[in-house]
Amino acid sequence: MTDLTDRRSLESQLVEAQKMDAIGKLTGGIAHDFNNLLAAVLGGIGLLERRAKLPDDHRKILAMTRRAADQGTELVGRLLAFARRQQLEPKPVDIQSLHRDVDDLLSHTLGGLVELEWQLPDPAWEVFADSSQLELALMNLIINARDACSGGGTILIRSENCSLAAGDEPGLEPGDYVRLQVIDQGCGIAPEMLDKVLEPFVTTKEVGKGTGLGLSMVYGFARQSGGTFLLKSKLGEGTTAELWLPRAPDTAATATPESATPPERPKMSLRILLLDDHEEVRSTTTGMLEELGHSVTQAPDGRSALEILDNGAEFDLLITDYAMPQMSGTDFVVRARENRPELPALIITGYADAAEIGDRPQDVAVLSKPFDFKALSDAAVAAMTRN
């Protein structure tokens, strides 16, 4: 009987993992399309801000429009976090510092009825994760706990050093982890909702009180970081949210020498071949590059871009979208370099994780959409100096 129960439990975990993977792929695709739209919107706003001589009241309207578009970018970032396609920059994170930073950020947000209590081991292992995303994930969990404690109370944040053997925790490889728990004695979550709340746009809060993206973001961040996220809850008794993240490697053993002084930014005007199948993104990106002093030739697809190169046109830099029909950005760069192997290239993408860009050459940089003038300029400079 025990073997049968274990088997059913494993089958249930497999079905749940497959469902979450399918939802993640769908969510990532939706986020990719929204990033294209936001790239065109924010690029157009940036061009208006730089080129148009507007009265102050019109500039205020433009600033409000930019803020709304930036909020859309943040929303898409949460979708990508769930789909595990955000670009993370993991590094050792000190738990004591995380404690201080989160306390500072939430001191005026939680209200007087809720108190935070921290329990940290001594010594507390460092976490290997993206510090800003970890901070955001922990804040999400604490605010959710606050919302569940309508009558006030104490929210416990506990960190534990955990060494796992094979099979100790489903979904985690053997090794050292830090388990961060956010524990409340609030209203709890109904059993039938416990798995569903990890999916995007699912929330137990009243209409208008939440987007349903907080827990899905935490889940995606944990999985992409090499850890996992678990929820345990009983109605009327409270909820424990567990964030498992890898322990940071020994910094003394992995220390690398300081990098050399970065090369000076080239001051020349570049001849750029820009390839993007999305007309609005192509137009606004062209406007941004021209505003930065470069000359741009546009192409809507890989075949057209290769014809331009075959006709003898000279370029200093290729900038290409990644996800396009018939020929991807990576395929285009490889084909273009058959005759010009040293030609610098930059790939732009609505998927925020460079790992999604298949087998691109190592010297090809990646820029995530949407981007502003500085990000585009810096990426072009980086592409020119990587060769």
Question: Which CA distances in Å does 82 have to 6, 95, 198, 323?
Answer: 28, 24, 9, 20
**CATH code of the domain covering residue 279:** 3.40.50.2300
CA torsion, points 380, 381, 382, 383, in degrees to nearest 10?
A: 50
- Number of neighbouring beta carbons within 10 Å of residue 113: 11
- Is residue 229 a part of any domain in this protein? yes
- Is residue 309 a part of any domain in this protein? yes
* 304-353 confidence digits (pLDDT tens): 999 999 998 999 999 999 888 888 899 999 999 998 888 999 999 876 55
pLDDT score for 301: 92
Residue where one domain finishes, among candidates 82, 100, 117: 82
pLDDT score for 102: 85
- Is residue 264 a part of any domain in this protein? no
What does DSSP say about strands 238-246 and 175-184: parallel, antiparallel, or unpaired? antiparallel
* Residue 78 and residue 103 in one domain: no
Two tokens, residue 312: 């003898």
pLDDT score for 369: 84
- Per DSSP, the residues of 311-350 read TT---SEEEEESS-SSS-HHHHHHHHTTT-TT--EEEEES
Please report which confidence band the pLDDT of residue 201 belongs to, taking 50, 70 and 90 as the band edges: very low
* Residue 235 and residue 367 in one domain: no
Question: Average pLDDT of 84-102?
Answer: 81
DSSP, collapsed to helix, strand or coil, labels residue 306 as helix
How many Cα atoms sit within 13 Å of 207 on the Cβ side? 0
Percent share of the chain, pLDDT over 70: 74
What integer best gives the mean pLDDT of the chain?
79
Which residues 6+ apart lie within 8 Å of 295 measured at CB? 269, 270, 271, 272
Model-wide pTM > 0.75:
no
- Is residue 199 a part of any domain in this protein? yes
Among residues 311, 298, 303, 362, which one has the least CA distance to residue 335?
Answer: 303
* Residue 59 and residue 102 in one domain: no
Residue where one domain finishes, among candidates 253, 282, 308: 253
Does the structure show a pLDDT above 80 at 94? yes
- Per DSSP, the residues of 41-55 read HHHHHHHHHHH----
* 165-177 confidence digits (pLDDT tens): 987 887 789 999 9
Full domain range(s) for residue 165:
91-253
User: Cα–Cα distance between 140 and 218 in angstroms, integer?
Assistant: 8
Please report which confidence band the pLDDT of residue 259 belongs to, taking 50, 70 and 90 as the band edges: very low
**CATH code of the domain covering residue 8:** 1.10.287
* Residue 331 and residue 301 in one domain: yes
- Is residue 259 a part of any domain in this protein? no
Residue where one domain finishes, among candidates 82, 105, 121: 82
Question: Average pLDDT of 203-219?
Answer: 55
Q: Which residue has the higher pLDDT, 24 or 160?
A: 160
* 351-364 confidence digits (pLDDT tens): 655 555 666 788 88
Question: Average pLDDT of 49-61?
Answer: 83
* Residue 98 and residue 77 in one domain: no
* Residue 149 and residue 238 in one domain: yes
Percent share of the chain, pLDDT over 90: 30
Report the range out of 3-12, 70-79, 122-131, 203-212 with the highest average pLDDT. 122-131
- Is residue 15 a part of any domain in this protein? yes
- Is residue 258 a part of any domain in this protein? no
Question: Average pLDDT of 253-257?
Answer: 42
* Residue 123 and residue 220 in one domain: yes
- C-alpha angle 140-199-208 in degrees, rounded to nearest 5: 60
* Residue 201 and residue 338 in one domain: no
Question: Average pLDDT of 149-153?
Answer: 79
* Residue 330 and residue 349 in one domain: yes
Q: What is the DSSP letter of 365?
A: E
pLDDT score for 153: 83
* Residue 58 and residue 129 in one domain: no
Question: Which CA distances in Å does 348 have to 212, 239, 321, 356?
Answer: 29, 41, 5, 12
Among residues 224, 268, 228, 266, which one has the least CA distance to residue 244?
Answer: 228
Question: Average pLDDT of 186-196?
Answer: 78
* Residue 360 and residue 282 in one domain: yes
For the chain, helix, strand, coil in percent to 5 are 45, 20, 35
Two tokens, residue 17: 């993992």
DSSP, collapsed to helix, strand or coil, labels residue 136 as helix
Q: State the total domains in the chain.
A: 3
- Is residue 263 a part of any domain in this protein? no
Does the structure show a pLDDT above 80 at 6? no
* Residue 148 and residue 221 in one domain: yes
pLDDT score for 266: 47
Q: Is 352 exposed, middle or buried (0-12, 13-18, 19+ CB in 10 A)?
A: buried
Two tokens, residue 74: 């943040």
**CATH code of the domain covering residue 155:** 3.30.565.10
